[in-house]
Chain A
């Protein structure tokens, strides 16, 4: 699946934020979403590449896709049913 096929409900610009704030900010946004809605997260912290999949796995949310765009990492996360 490519980014153009995924429609995000919200966009979180976490560029410049350092560990662990991309995950913290993502969690805050997810509290405002309903199950099935998708967040596009843009981060520059390389730790996010490991952190975001781990966070999604431990919270019952789904990482749909991620890729690099220049100096940024772009993630698409879908809210699960029980978070």
Chain B
């Protein structure tokens, strides 16, 4: 497993756009299930999806509910990174976020993306 593949998935849409919020989680779920390292990055309103209790309220037609997807992604080793300014501007702190979520800034996102096999932006 020396050449482990890594996928970075950036999420910029929040709960008010359930389909665009859910598709990146569906992709991440399929990726972790396929033994691909997954980093999900949340920016803009995407940050709201990792606020405690929010994912459980988001469902898009014909997709698995977001809450269960998030839980499975974390269980299978997916990492959750959230944009620091985006979190602060929404009045959120680390305590408000899903356990395991890491608050980071732009350079960390850049490092993750440049070291990945591929990146997707939603």
Within 8 Å CB of B72, what residues of A?
21, 24, 28
Decide: A26 near B63, CB < 8 A? Known: A19-B26, A21-B68, A21-B69.
no
User: In the complex, are the beta carbons of B62 and A24 less than 8 A apart?
Assistant: no
Overall SS of chain B's interface = helix
Verify if A58 is at the interface (C-beta below 8 Å from B).
yes
User: In the complex, are the beta carbons of B29 and A23 less than 8 A apart?
Assistant: yes
> Residues of B within 8 Å of A, CB-based: how many?
16
In angstroms, Cα B29 to Cα A21, docked, is 8
User: In the complex, are the beta carbons of A20 and B76 less than 8 A apart?
Assistant: no
Measured between C-beta atoms, what is the minimum distance from A61 to chain B in Å?
10
Cross-chain contact of A51 among B30, B35, B76 (Cβ < 8 A): B30
Within 8 Å CB of B30, what residues of A?
20, 23-24, 51, 55
B:41-58 near A, CB below 8 Å: none
Write the residues of chain B forming the contact surface with A, with a CB cutoff of 8 angstroms.
26-27, 29-30, 32-35, 62-64, 68-69, 72, 75-76
Write the residues of chain A forming the contact surface with B, with a CB cutoff of 8 angstroms.
17-21, 23-24, 26-28, 51, 55, 58-59, 83
